[in-house]
Amino acid sequence: MTILDKIIKDKLKEVELKKSLIPVSQLEASVLFGRKCISLAENIKNGSGIIAEHKRRSPSKSVINQDLNVQEVAKGYESAGVSGMSVLTDGKYFGGSLEDLLYARASANIPILRKEFMVDPYQVIEAKAYGADAILLIAAVLTEKQMIHLANKAKELGMEVLLEVHNEEELQKSLRVKADMLGVNNRNLKTFEVSIENSKKLAPLIPEHFVKVSESGISDPAVIAELKESGYKGFLIGENFMRTENPGKAAKKFIAELKSMV
């Protein structure tokens, strides 16, 4: 059993437990549920393209940064000029929570992506109730039918969808999904090795109506210049900023370097 299999097995149990405790009607009564979402896709196209992440730890790297509070990180990212913020909400494997999403939403007026292992429409409703503007769908763990169902639910609630693929097979089963952004993860989920060649290889196969996003292993503005040549507009950066004492400051420096290259 891979780490991904374990995560999904635990996630299915977690969602069933939450459903038994907090009914959908309670989520829909949230103050944030009726809020109009900010478009992450438009922000990516018209801004720096950087989606900066809040991530405390991961199964592959263990602890990344446990010392920061999400409010400060969100404010820092907003003032740095990011196009959006990704907030990990998985507790067991990544040390995140829905409260992180809530505090990030209260602290910054930028598009927020709920980064989670989505397996049930309940989680989409949850994302909206806690202030997310977009959700992540991972093709490696979902069938085409599941992805279509979850994406449609997000659209119904006014949210956008970032659909993540790792290879050509996953890309092919994602083409009928109503996603706004298509992300190519440069991390091999079996070996955890990272190579941006994965983004370059899949770029020509991604239909033009998707905003192309490259994810993982981006730590140098020069790499973004390369990826832009392949048609990428969005760049998800997690550990590079979170490994520093001040992620907002690190993001600001990175974006300034990026602008000086254009």
Residue 234 CB partners (closer than 8 Å, separation 6+): 44, 49, 50, 51, 83, 181, 183, 211, 212, 213, 214
Contact criterion met (CB below 8 Å) for 258 and 233: no
Catalogue the long-range contacts made by 151-156 (C-beta closer than 8 Å, 24 or more residues apart).
Answer: 151/177, 151/178, 151/179, 152/178, 153/121, 153/124, 153/125, 154/124, 154/127
Which residues are part of the catalytic machinery?
A: 53, 55, 115, 164, 185, 215-216
Adjacent-strand bridge partners of 164: 138, 183
Q: Are strands 211-215 and 181-185 parallel, antiparallel or unpaired?
A: parallel
Segment 139-182, tens digit of pLDDT: 999 999 999 999 999 999 999 999 999 999 999 999 999 999 99
pTM for the model stands at 0.96
- Structural domain containing residue 175: 3-261
Residue 50 sits at φ, ψ, to 5 deg, of -85, 125
CATH code for position 129: 3.20.20.70
Residue reference for tokens 């309940």: 122
Segment 96-107, tens digit of pLDDT: 999 999 999 999
Number of domains in the chain: 1
Tens digit of each residue's pLDDT, the chain (262 residues):
788 899 999 999 999 999 999 999 999 999 999 999 999 999 999 999 999 999 887 876 676 667 789 999 999 999 999 999 999 999 999 999 999 999 999 999 999 999 999 999 999 999 999 999 999 999 999 999 999 999 999 999 999 999 999 999 999 999 999 999 999 999 887 677 899 999 999 999 999 999 999 999 899 999 999 999 999 999 999 889 999 999 999 999 999 999 998 6
Q: Where are the alpha helices (DSSP H) in the chain?
A: 3-21, 24-28, 40-46, 70-80, 98-107, 121-129, 144-156, 168-172, 197-202, 221-229, 239-242, 247-261
The DSSP secondary-structure symbol of 89 reads -
Q: Measured between alpha carbons, how far is 228 from 65 in angstroms, rounded to an integer?
A: 29
Q: Measured between alpha carbons, how far is 101 from 85 in angstroms, rounded to an integer?
A: 10
Residue 226 burial (C-beta neighbours within 10 Å; 0-12, 13-18, 19+): middle
